[in-house]
Amino acid sequence: MPGLCVVTAMRTISRAGVFCTLLLAAVAAFPTLGEDVASVGADGVRMNAQVRVVVDQAYSVHQLSSPSGTIVREFVSPGGTVFGLSWQGPFTPDLRQLLGTHFDEYVQASQSDQGHIAHMVHVESGDLVVESAGHMRFSVGRAYLRSKMPSGVTADALR
Amino acid sequence: MRSVSLREVEVVASLVLAALLSTCGGSNGSSSPSSSSPSGNNVQTVVVNGGPTGNYTNGVFTNVTLCVPGSSSCQTVNNVLVDTGSFGLRILASALTLSLPQQNDASGNPVVECAQFVLSTMWGPVRTADVKLGGEVAGSIPIEIVGDPGFSTVPAGCSNHGPPQQTQAALGTNGILGIGLFINDCGGACSVAGAGNPGFYYACAGSGCQIIAQPTSNQVKNPVAAFSGDNNGTLLQLPTVSASTSSVSGSLIFGIGTQSNNTLGSAKVFTVNGAGNLTATFHSNSYPSFLDSGSNAYFFLSSSASGIPACSTQASGFYCPSSPVNVSATNRGANGTNNAVNFTIDNAATLFANSGENVLPSLGGPNAGSFDWGLPFFFGRNVFTAIETRNTPVGTGPYWAY
């Protein structure tokens, strides 16, 4: 896990916990929702991204800024599982990559027929919660797996 | 600071004019719509109802006339959604019988668009049309034809951003009239090649479709910006809706301060940041905020932050308080203008239960990351959308005013 090596080397103590910054000029990749952070290399989304890793007591945050300007944050449990992610920027990221095996579940849940046609922001399907909002040229959203949230962490932290 | 001085002069002039109009007309100075229907070459009638499928919630629809450029070969498409949250005209292929010229790239291959909305994508060829709204004409502009059977295979690179919605049954409309703050639907990001291109535009040859760099001049664009006059923005004027109902009508008026029927009056101007957003503050927390006539409801906060219970599976994605809840949040423009917005959220499951009522002013749902002022916000307000780079009596767009 290259991120953690750098975290160890560069860590500085601050009031809010241990913050570490990792800047990569080269190709970076990141894992998908529900998967282990160690599976980074196999997943294949490659962005010429700037990566920042913030480690707190309950979880760590991997922040990537894509070339088209959208910032993606991935929330990783102490056990190494990506339990949540959020994004904000001009364009919606590749949701199939971010949601992984949960993408199809999201699509199906987002099109559920309630008798009225009303496109909601907040979509739930069992363990999965996805929120995608914004307007053309601005996208903001988050996704998480309720069962994977570390103890004491609420969804309101995923911003 | 000459430009600032000029702007101040314009503001003062505008205020004086508003005061004069107020005195003459006996208006109370509010920015709520007048009771009489406006008329003129810049007025387009709109209606809020269930749309072509009869079950669309809080959608504002209008007719759009398309013509083969420079000809009298035209077709009027009804039930097109008026959307201040997007830019450009998109028409379902299934609603179109008119044959419009295809836009090709430099290699002569047809240009096809993957329009990315926050919840879905729309895939289809870019064609050129004269677009007529009221008495205004946008001559020979690129539009998107959605779900064209000649381009039926949606590339994975498109559908990975969201499920394609290509039919009237899925969309609940015959098209989308995007009249928001910006001129082009993607902008500069799509005009360059490489990893930063978000993939709105493709060229499709026999071997498949590849993302291309699309100059902004060729991008699908806000028709209002292409009018010969009244092209600096719009005024969407809908009546107050005090309770759920089946239909209300209103007006989409083109231009801001260009005619007597589109003066700003007492409306407050809120300039936006680079992303086209205001800031909404609720209980000391701030969120990106925007006015989107294409959103079906007020979408704001998480259930835990708002304190409003979310619905169960029956109306999942909406709020279901046991009794109506009054909410207040403050919009702030980049120019510092503040406005407290007070609104009421009722039980969505109860609201949805009456199938004859599709105009639901108290419909809301959770959205933890932003304040989406959907169509209910527009009821009882004059909402002005000033287009980027265009001059208006109080300054240059983009801005919202209400």
Instruction: Show the DSSP H helices in A19-144 as ranges.
Output: 40-43, 95-99, 103-110
Neighbouring residues of B4: CB distance < 8 A, sequence distance ≥ 6:
none
B198–A68: do the CB atoms touch at under 8 Å? Answer: yes
ipTM given for this complex: 0.89
Query: Given this model, what pLDDT does residue A23 score?
Result: 43
List A residues 115-154 in contact with B (Cβ-Cβ < 8 A). Answer: 115-124, 131-142, 154
Question: pLDDT confidence of A31, banded at 50, 70, 90?
Answer: low
Instruction: Compute the average pLDDT of residues A90-117.
Output: 88
A32 close to B (CB below 8 A): no
Instruction: Compute the average pLDDT of residues B289-316.
Output: 95
A92–B116: do the CB atoms touch at under 8 Å? Answer: yes
Whether residue B32 is predicted with pLDDT greater than 60 in this model: the reply is yes
Residue of B nearest to A157 (CA): B368
Cα-flanking dihedrals φ and ψ of residue B41, to 5°? Answer: -70, -10
Question: pLDDT confidence of B77, banded at 50, 70, 90?
Answer: very high
Instruction: Compute the average pLDDT of residues B59-81.
Output: 98
Query: Given this model, what pLDDT does residue B22 score?
Result: 37
Residue-wise over B307-328: b if at least 16 C-beta within 10 A, else e? ebebbeeebbbbbbbeeebebe
B365 close to A (CB below 8 A): yes
Instruction: Compute the average pLDDT of residues A95-104.
Output: 92
Q: What is the pLDDT of residues B192-208, one digit of tens each?
A: 999 999 999 999 998 89
For the domain made up of B257-401, the CATH class stated in words is mainly beta
B86 in Cβ contact with B185 (< 8 Å):
yes
Residue of A nearest to B349 (CA): A114
**A158 closest CA partner among A89, A91, A79, A62:** A62
B330 in Cβ contact with B280 (< 8 Å):
yes
B195–A91: do the CB atoms touch at under 8 Å? Answer: no
Counting other chains too, the contacts that A69-76 makes at CB distance below 8 Å and 24 or more residues apart are A69/B189, A69/B196, A70/A139, A72/A30, A72/A98, A73/A158, A74/A30, A74/A31, A74/A37, A75/A144, A75/A157, A75/A158, A76/A37
Cβ neighbour number for residue B239 with a 10 Å cutoff: 16
A67–B297: do the CB atoms touch at under 8 Å? Answer: no
Whether residue B223 is predicted with pLDDT greater than 80 in this model: the reply is yes
B316–A155: do the CB atoms touch at under 8 Å? Answer: no
Is the model more confident about B322 or about B37?
B322
B186 close to A (CB below 8 A): yes
Instruction: Show the DSSP H helices in A30-75 as ranges.
Output: 40-43
Domain with CATH 2.40.70 in chain B: 36-226, 257-401
Neighbouring residues of A15: CB distance < 8 A, sequence distance ≥ 6:
none
Instruction: Compute the average pLDDT of residues B43-69.
Output: 97
**B220 closest CA partner among B102, B276, B141:** B141
- Minimum-distance CB partner of A135 among B51, B156, B180: B180
Residue of A nearest to B117 (CA): A136
Q: Using CA atoms in the order B336, B342, B347, B352, what is the torsion angle rounded to 10 degrees?
A: -80
Whether residue A43 is predicted with pLDDT greater than 60 in this model: the reply is no
| Cβ-based contacts of B53 with chain A (< 8 Å) | 117
Query: Given this model, what pLDDT does residue A11 score?
Result: 31
Query: Given this model, what pLDDT does residue B367 score?
Result: 97
Is the model more confident about A151 or about B325?
B325
A155 close to B (CB below 8 A): yes
Query: Given this model, what pLDDT does residue A142 score?
Result: 96
How far apart are the CA of B117 and the nearest CA of chain A, in angstroms? 6
B177 in Cβ contact with B170 (< 8 Å):
no
A20 in Cβ contact with A55 (< 8 Å):
yes
- Minimum-distance CB partner of B189 among A68, A118, A122: A68
What would the DSSP string read from start to end of B171-208? HSSSEEEEESS-SBSS-GGGGS-STT----EEEEETTE
| Cβ-based contacts of A140 with chain B (< 8 Å) | 288, 369-370
Instruction: Compute the average pLDDT of residues B65-83.
Output: 98
A45 close to B (CB below 8 A): no
How far apart are the CA of A152 and the nearest CA of chain B, in angstroms? 15
B291 in Cβ contact with B299 (< 8 Å):
no
- Minimum-distance CB partner of B299 among A96, A121, A158: A121
A112 close to B (CB below 8 A): yes
Is the model more confident about B13 or about B191?
B191
B317–A120: do the CB atoms touch at under 8 Å? Answer: yes
Whether residue B100 is predicted with pLDDT greater than 50 in this model: the reply is yes
Size of interface A-B (CB pairs under 8 A): 168
**Separation CA B19–CA B263 (nearest Å):** 12
Question: pLDDT confidence of A50, banded at 50, 70, 90?
Answer: low
The secondary structure of chain B in percent helix, strand, coil, rounded to multiples of 5, reads 15, 40, 45
Fold topology of B36-226 = Cathepsin D, subunit A; domain 1 (2.40.70)
Q: How confident is the prediction for chain A on average, in pLDDT? A: 76
Query: Given this model, what pLDDT does residue A19 score?
Result: 41
How far apart are the CA of B119 and the nearest CA of chain A, in angstroms? 6
Q: What is the pLDDT of residues B313-327, one digit of tens each?
A: 789 999 999 999 999
Q: How confident is the prediction for chain B on average, in pLDDT? A: 92
B112 in Cβ contact with B125 (< 8 Å):
yes
Angle at B139 between CA B137 and CA B145, to 5 degrees: 100
Give the lowest-confidence range in A57-61, B134-138, B183-187, B285-289: A57-61
Whether residue A151 is predicted with pLDDT greater than 80 in this model: the reply is yes
Q: Using CA atoms in the order B186, B62, B226, B105, what is the torsion angle rounded to 10 degrees?
A: 50
Written as six digits, the tokens of A97 are 């990559």
| B399: helix, strand or coil | strand
Instruction: Compute the average pLDDT of residues B206-231.
Output: 97
Question: pLDDT confidence of B4, banded at 50, 70, 90?
Answer: very low
